[in-house]
Structure 1
Amino acid sequence: MTDTPPEINSIHHNKHTTQTTSFVIQLSWFGRIFSSLQSGLIVDEHSLVFPEGFVPPKALKTLVVNGRSKAQVKRKRYSLLWQHFDIPPVFEWRWLGATLIYQVNGLVYELHFIGYRDSRAFAGQIKSQWAHYHQKRLLKLVSNVENTTQVRYLRHSRLKAIQQRVAQEYPRWLPWAQSTHLSNSIGDAVAKLKVMHNWSETDINELRERFIQKQLRLYRNYFDTVESNPLTEKQRRAAVIDDDSNLLLAGAGTGKTSVMVARAGYLLTSEQARPEEILLLAYGKKAATEMDERIKDKLGIDSIKTSTFHSLGLTIISQVEGKQPSLSAWVNDEEAKTQWVQATMESQLLNARYRQQLIKYMSDFYYQPKNTFEFTAQSDVDRYITSNDIRTLKGERVNDVAHLHIANWLLLHGIEYHYNATYEFGALGKGKCASSNSNHKSGADAASSAVGVIKADFYLPLSKVYIEYYALDENGNTPAYKDKNHYQNMMQRKRELHSQEGSRCIELFYHQYAKGKLNNALKRGVNKMQLNIVPIDDETVLDRVRESGRMIKLAGLLSQLITVYKSTCQGKLTLEKILHRVAGNTTNTDIQQIRLVFSLLRPIYQQYQKYLRQQAQIDFEDMVGKAINYVEQKKFVAPWRYIMVDEFQDISEPRARLVRALRDSTWPNIAQPERAKPEKAQPASLFCVGDDWQAIYRFSGADVSLTTGFRQYFGPSSQNVLDQTFRFNDRIGNTATQFVSQNPEQISKEIRSLSKADKPSVSILQCEVNTKSNDFLLHQALADIDSQVRVKGRVQRTKRVSTVYILGRFWFQLPDEEALKKLNQQYPDLQIRSLSIHAAKGKEADYAILTGMSQGQHGFPASKVTSPLLKALLPVEETYPNAEERRLFYVALTRAKHKVYILADKNQPSPFVSELMGPAFDVEIVKCA
């Protein structure tokens, strides 16, 4: 026997015991006499040599070696290298001798008839030999894990890879190694392996925090000087934390751009990345240019270029196809695209089926109906009808959406009618009727008494038939804003009048309209009255549609639908999938409209795609769609190891899908040991900055659920918050936060203001006199701002021009260029600009004035009804009422540093203003005489 390596101790507590690297374990007496085995088991530093006569199991024949020496080969002795044993072989003592139990490739094998004495004597040495051979793997694993947690943030992917490797190694060493005397290095490694195997969430968080603190110490000077002012603790942490996917929730004015710049610089300074390995993504060219200028100014480099999603798509497509794709002229000319859609639609009208579908749409679905029973006040109904300017094909304004369907059906079927027909049973004679354009209340509401002038909804003069429409559901209930008993009494009196005068009358009801059966009920009534139906020809109807301007508006809608369909669905969403997607939130009328509009859209969309192919062109939506396909099909592998996305709350699902595909396209096999592949093959890191409270672009496909459900879409990730704003004071911040936080579907957070105010900083201005215009309130606000600026100038002995934003929900509500010029001349100490609230996002001023704060289609919140198909194509709408409009109002409130002025409409006040005027909010209410 020869000595074993000095680091292996095989005898307990005896440092001077002779150590061996090779020894023989004899067979038991039974094995020597009765088994086919003819010699003992040889153990050496390289392998375990089986006795003569040993027949290897079938599964091991490719692994065993026929001897390691000429003598072993001659005597047909097989050996198995230590590298093949999963764990150290062990002995189990049985009646006819000890049994050697060993495991290879997960399978367990046994060798019987080993001598008791030798198996006891050398059991520990076998473990030591195995440990000596496998120590390199253990020590390397432990060292790699320690190194990784010290020099890199412990991403979820790294953690998973480590846990998989530790889980593989752990059963090879534990628990047996704890009771076996091994070298100090192996013993220490085993102890560390045990700790790694038992990592708790707390342990993992401590490892990450240890890394963060180390980086903050190392790069303290960098974070102090990278921006004009030292970064806050949370800004620094956001720059350092480097998970596979990172979401930074950056509230209004909290310095998100500073973090984007600082993070890019930190990655370069810490040598974790080179400039070409960093991809910055912004939404528009202007934002990308501003980011590039900021990086050049703060970091002193111009090698990091910010890309828009469209330019990124072009880059990917160009690289895969080997040439720059040609862009359609329509990408920058929506009007030309709409004109093409209209021309294509006109050509489709040669098809009789398409023509009938379009006429039905114009007759029944051009306006987006609201359920009468949704309203709580008659004034709300009147406002809805007026603001949406609901008119018949003849151009008449109606008082109820159901009246629209009745009037259009009568027109299309060649039946002359008078709408809002006045009739007097007595003064004008029986059955006499005069048409009237005076205000009308639907159905039984008109029958104010049994005598005098009352009105029918419709009168058919040629047949002397009346049509009355009653707002009753199947159970005889009226809408909430009508008194049920009073309504039914009036309806009964009206029926009695028709009975007394012997007039013929067709009765229609709301529940028929709600179920889409109104036209059928009308048709049955007309047939029952034996009225002559002579449908007018299609071309006459289409001429009326063209004259009304509805054809152009429909072309605009279809053009918009093409864009939204391609940008949100990438052409993969069928009608059936669309209907399934919205089935729980749509009425039968909505489904009918979706089917009809989809039928109108489909041939236009097909012609649109065909035209682009023939011209060898792509549009904006193709830039993203084709890029997604190329990345997912592995035709393009991302060269970027760090992907940073600005304004993430505005992202659409296809863009998020592209970002995720780019991140995943660089990921290695996660089961491989850490740093087993070149550095550029390491997982890409995704860093997204946004604020779900400022998500205001659903109409263009933005999906706020990608922010609120970030982990669900991108997988395990880190989420951090910037909660200190440098823009507005605490009184503005508290009011704005309280207002936007009403929606429980948003992420709960608190925004702290650096600036403190000693009085309310949101002021609601109201006119005491109804006749005074909005301009009066605007000048009141500007005069107050001007006064404050002058006072500050005298106190601070400086003359500084203060900025003022006049903000509106819609552009047309704002002062035009000439009016703005006059305002700036009138208030020379103020720099006044007017912006829509959408355009003001990301900007700030000293003061902000909010105008257009009324109710209705162009009020705030805007009540314009969206096409059901468009709603179906857009991301799923939140259940909280006016969720996006509420966030838009929050954006408006948070544009000002010092004070916000809200110009209230006293006649039709915005619900948002009414809410702010409640006792719960810290606002100032000013009555302007």
Structure 2
Amino acid sequence: MLGTALTINSQEHNIVTLKGAGHVAAREFAEEVKEAWTRVNLVALEKEAARLNRVLAGVLGLAAPPQYPSACKIAPLMDDAKALDASLLSKLNADAIGPEVVARIAPVRKFVADPRTARANAITAFVTAELDRWKDFFDTIESKPLTPEQRLSVVVDEDATLVLAGAGSGKTSVITAKAAYLVKAGIRQPDEILLLAFAKNAAEEMSERVEARSGVPIVARTFHAIAYDIIGIVEGSKPALADHATDDTAFSNLIKQILKDLVYRLSEVSKAIIQFFAHFLVEPKTEWDFKTKHDFYTHMESQDLRTLQGEKVKSYEELRIANWLYENGVEYEYEPLYEHKVSEIGRRDYQPDFRLTESGIYIEHFGVRREKARDGSERLVTAPFVDRDEYLAGMDWKRKVHAEHQTTLIETFSYERQEGRLLTGLAEKLAPHVTQTPRPVDTIYDRIVELKQVDDFSKLLGTFLRKFKSGGYSLQDCQTKSDRMKLGKRARAFLDVFAPVFEEYQKRLEGRIDFEDMILRAALYAEDGRYVSPFRHILVDEFQDISQSRARLVKALKAQHPDVRVFAVGDDWQSIFRFAGSDIHLMRHFGREFGGSFDGEAGVHRTVDLGRTFRSVDHIAFAARTFVLRNPAQIDKKIVPAGTATEPAIRVVSVSKGEDEGKLNELLGALSAAMAPEAKPATVLLLGRYRFTEPDMPGLRRRFPRLKISFKTIHASKGLEADHVILLNADSGRMGFPSEIVDDPLLSLVSPEEEAFQNAEERRVMYVAMTRARHTLTILASNARPSSFVTELRKDPAYGISTAPGAETEAHVCGECGGRLLGVTGQDGRIWYRCEHVQHCGNLLPACPSCSAALPRLAEGTSEVRCGCGASYPTCPECEDGWLVERSGTFGKFLGCVRYPTCTGKAKISGGDRPTITKSRRRTRA
């Protein structure tokens, strides 16, 4: 009666309502609007019919995809489907288009709503079908059928695929099968596949293997070979290669020659070079950088604190003083005996730090700093682990000695270095007493050469230079990073030397190129499009060894076409070439660096773990896995061993000093004797961290003809295997294993990230050594100074290490510094227990007087020191490790510390069961 309201909904406009219309007219109008809207929907569908059919076919094809549905292949379909849905499908009215059309477009709409799930389902369908389809190929491509994990890695074809290939897991088989599969499946033509290896012989072997196994002619190339080809294509000819590019010895000699020439030619540069050698060659850490004496002593022993005069000193600050004296022509003696006999119970003969030979002046350097109290007063403090009162008493005693004997004492202090005036202050104090006659820089440099300090520094400079070039760094980059990492004066001094060396090195190339230039120039040509890549699949072997420059080249080639795939095979557990520029973080962040993108997700990639090892028995395989995964940054991988050990497969054999050769002969003799008469020769691989550990190989081969014996450094052993592996010289020390000289903090300036885990790369070197063995691994270690790795293997039951009965002596902690007390045989034939930090600590204890072998230790909950043989002694009231024994003195017999005269703890002998303890002031050298 009041009329009909007609409401029209619109996505593009506000809702329109017409009121007061006649009922019949309104109904007719509404019907006409619906019909018009249906016609619009159907017309729109008709216009997009071809596009819809194409998208629909693509989406439906995901149910059984003909090729691996990688992100780069599916992304265009997703983009097309999303665009079609946004412009049309989402706007269609179900009533208008009808249920049949709704059902037809439903797969597209479902795909648009969740493309990731759709792609994941498509991958599953493809992989399942493809593994079945190529079963015969996988069964026959290698001498043995491929494992399920190897087959999966071949058919997976993501934008970026990383195959984790542990030691002995058959990575070469995977690369070979992948290349052959791509061609045989019609996915790529041979010239569209780039097969990359790091070494020339590895590339040649791979090329031959691919063609022999599959008949497919794909030439594997090194990174440098493809880079050189790219440069030749773009420039029309290939520039000459520098002579030293392929010769590390020539490269090192060139750096040494540049250093020498700069010293003799340029005064400012020569000063910078001499300054670095004299004051910054070693890392400038002091007692205040460590929490315990043991940590400090361990660090000091890892540094070669060798002065320009040639002696080894005990601290970085003493090193600076000694080198300043040498530079300025002030003759001195280090730690001479004091010219007057000073006798005081409990003290060793007095040895001042320095004596100036011409003037007779003494220099003592005191490890004290100044600290202000809240009331403004100032006091001297010592390092956290040093007894302040005892140390200050020692300072006073030394001053008293010089005063009594009227000798001149010059004092220097740690706080002077902290305040930046150690050497200027020394110069002022010495000025009234000595005349400085500075040595010429060329004379000092000749001395540095004589001490062989140039060799290690040249290696550091060379490694830095190569990493600097390959990473595309600038000097400003390094300076900025140095400031951020607070590397201080040492880094600035190093860069002052490096800058002119690098400039001179570039000049001496004279138009030729080195390998770093080669890679970077090729990458640049690929990045800017001057080189057009034909490659659609890039297969990289030994991916854990990739450097920043090589990664840049791979990325540049990948970026040239949207459908390029990267297939990388490697093992981050075997990344041991950081010194050559390899960057383990590129593998750890593989997806971020090389992955594709899909549905808003970046870094899309796939990882396949081969898992199975065809080399090592379970005991070795699992122990090696446990060992390397102590570093939580390593990628976790499963291990399926090659077999089960029937007897202990890993053992540690302790070796006394001078017994290395005899113990090795004993081990080889046992291996030879255990062989069956008709058995073929067993292979034995001797491994050393350094080349100098190589024994007399001709002699060993003559003595043990039934064994096939070889020696390799661990780095050179990668890819090799043997029935039995013997690891030599697993000792602690600067040239031990783990090596304590490989990672100079300065290299962090040209490294993307520093690994936080201690000995991270050395741990991987140990893993490589362990996994060369098929059946047994024997580790030879010093019984006095076993390496930290050996100690770890012995202590943790998880490794299941076998140690010969009685071969391992009980570990004792030094009460003076926290180091180890090691059993040694003295010149008198008696056994003594000496602190491992003999140069710094000097704690020395005799063996038990009763058994003459073991070391008595404090029994928990008692005041007695007891030996394993059953003997017991009263504890020393003054020191941690000593015990009291009967001695004779002026006033008769008494109980005195076995560490006398270092410790003067004593007690009276009473008639009772227990001695009466008499306290005396403990005296040790400050």
Q: Normalising to structure 1: TM-score of the pair?
A: 0.78
Question: In structure 2, which of residues 631, 634, 637 is the aligned counterpart of residue 743 of structure 1?
Answer: 631
Q: Which residue of 1 aligns with 2:804?
A: 926
Code of the aligned partner of 2:711? S
Q: Mapping of 1:18-417 within 5 angstroms?
A: 93-95=16-18, 118-147=32-61, 150-177=65-92, 179-180=94-95, 182=97, 186-199=101-114, 201-301=116-216, 303-348=217-262, 349-373=264-288, 389-417=304-332
Deviations 1:12-50 (A, max 9, x none): xxxxxxxxxxxxxxxxxx9xxxxxxxxxxxxxxxxxxxx
* Superposed displacement of residue 217, structure 1: 1.3
Q: Secondary structure at the match of 2:351?
A: strand
Code of the aligned partner of 1:629? L
CA contact 1:88–1:126 (8 Å) conserved in 2: no
Larger radius of gyration: 1
Question: In structure 1, which of residues 638, 644, 648 is the aligned counterpart of residue 533 of structure 2?
Answer: 638
Code of the aligned partner of 1:628? A
**1: CA distance between counterparts of 2:268 and 2:348?**
49
Deviations 1:413-443 (A, max 9, x none): 333322213225567xxxxxxxxxxxxxxxx
* Superposed displacement of residue 124, structure 1: 1.8
Q: Which residue of 2 aligns with 1:703?
A: 583
**2: CA distance between counterparts of 1:882 and 1:386?**
16
CA contact 2:34–2:96 (8 Å) conserved in 1: no
**2: CA distance between counterparts of 1:369 and 1:653?**
30
Q: Which residue of 2 aligns with 1:627?
A: 522
Deviations 1:578-614 (A, max 9, x none): 13334454442xxx232223222223322322332x3
* Superposed displacement of residue 534, structure 1: 3.9
Q: Which residue of 1 aligns with 2:651?
A: 763
* Runs of 5+ consecutive residues of structure 2 not aligned to the other structure: 1-5, 22-27, 372-379, 595-602, 808-926
* Superposed displacement of residue 531, structure 1: 4.7
Q: Which residue of 1 aligns with 2:732?
A: 855
* Superposed displacement of residue 167, structure 1: 1.9
- C-alpha change, 1:128 and 1:222, in structure 2 (3 Å) is same
**2: CA distance between counterparts of 1:261 and 1:414?**
66
Deviations 1:286-309 (A, max 9, x none): 1111111221221123x2010001
- C-alpha change, 1:892 and 1:334, in structure 2 (3 Å) is closer
- C-alpha change, 1:891 and 1:701, in structure 2 (3 Å) is same
* Superposed displacement of residue 491, structure 1: 2.7
**2: CA distance between counterparts of 1:404 and 1:634?**
55
Q: Which residue of 1 aligns with 2:544?
A: 649
Q: Which residue of 2 aligns with 1:722?
A: 610
Code of the aligned partner of 1:126? V
CA contact 2:738–2:789 (8 Å) conserved in 1: yes
**2: CA distance between counterparts of 1:516 and 1:784?**
61
Q: Secondary structure at the match of 1:151?
A: coil
Deviations 1:129-188 (A, max 9, x none): 222222221121121233366122222233433332222122344455462354787434
**1: CA distance between counterparts of 2:642 and 2:250?**
49
CA contact 2:62–2:118 (8 Å) conserved in 1: no
**1: CA distance between counterparts of 2:613 and 2:708?**
23
* Superposed displacement of residue 865, structure 1: 5.9
**2: CA distance between counterparts of 1:514 and 1:843?**
51
Code of the aligned partner of 1:299? S
Q: Which residue of 2 aligns with 1:496?
A: 400
Code of the aligned partner of 1:694? Q
Code of the aligned partner of 1:705? H
Q: Secondary structure at the match of 1:725?
A: coil
* Runs of 5+ consecutive residues of structure 1 not aligned to the other structure: 1-29, 31-86, 99-113, 428-446, 668-682
Q: Which residue of 2 aligns with 1:604?
A: 501
Q: How many residues align?
A: 775
- C-alpha change, 1:871 and 1:474, in structure 2 (3 Å) is farther
Q: Which residue of 2 aligns with 1:11?
A: none
Alignment of 1:894 with 2:809, yes or no, is no
Q: Mapping of 1:867-906 within 5 angstroms?
A: 867-906=744-783
* Superposed displacement of residue 360, structure 1: 1.2
**1: CA distance between counterparts of 2:260 and 2:706?**
56
**2: CA distance between counterparts of 1:325 and 1:144?**
49
Q: Which residue of 1 aligns with 2:24?
A: none
Deviations 1:253-272 (A, max 9, x none): 11111111111111112111
Q: Secondary structure at the match of 2:40?
A: helix
Code of the aligned partner of 2:140? T
Q: Secondary structure at the match of 1:456?
A: coil
* Superposed displacement of residue 235, structure 1: 0.9
Alignment of 1:577 with 2:483, yes or no, is no
Q: Secondary structure at the match of 1:805?
A: strand
Code of the aligned partner of 1:698? R
Q: Which residue of 1 aligns with 2:659?
A: 773
* Superposed displacement of residue 707, structure 1: 0.9
Code of the aligned partner of 1:752? V
**2: CA distance between counterparts of 1:746 and 1:721?**
14
CA contact 1:89–1:127 (8 Å) conserved in 2: no
Alignment of 1:835 with 2:712, yes or no, is yes
* Superposed displacement of residue 509, structure 1: 2.9
RMSD: 3.1
**1: CA distance between counterparts of 2:742 and 2:181?**
48
**1: CA distance between counterparts of 2:694 and 2:419?**
42
Q: Which residue of 2 aligns with 1:59?
A: none
- C-alpha change, 1:502 and 1:496, in structure 2 (3 Å) is same
Code of the aligned partner of 2:589? G
- C-alpha change, 1:117 and 1:180, in structure 2 (3 Å) is closer
Question: In structure 2, which of residues 447, 465, 475 is the aligned counterpart of residue 544 of structure 1?
Answer: 447
Q: Secondary structure at the match of 1:853?
A: coil
**2: CA distance between counterparts of 1:789 and 1:452?**
57
Q: Secondary structure at the match of 2:337?
A: strand
- C-alpha change, 1:352 and 1:205, in structure 2 (3 Å) is same
**2: CA distance between counterparts of 1:319 and 1:118?**
69
Q: Which residue of 2 aligns with 1:783?
A: 669
Q: Which residue of 2 aligns with 1:678?
A: none
Q: Secondary structure at the match of 2:496?
A: helix
CA contact 2:466–2:581 (8 Å) conserved in 1: no
* Superposed displacement of residue 687, structure 1: 0.4
**1: CA distance between counterparts of 2:711 and 2:318?**
41
* Superposed displacement of residue 536, structure 1: 3.5
Q: Secondary structure at the match of 1:843?
A: coil
Deviations 1:302-323 (A, max 9, x none): x201000110111110111111
CA contact 1:91–1:123 (8 Å) conserved in 2: no
Moved more, 458-467 or 239-248: 458-467
- C-alpha change, 1:773 and 1:479, in structure 2 (3 Å) is farther
- C-alpha change, 1:462 and 1:765, in structure 2 (3 Å) is closer
Q: Which residue of 1 aligns with 2:413?
A: 509
Code of the aligned partner of 1:465? I
**2: CA distance between counterparts of 1:829 and 1:350?**
60
CA contact 1:368–1:865 (8 Å) conserved in 2: no
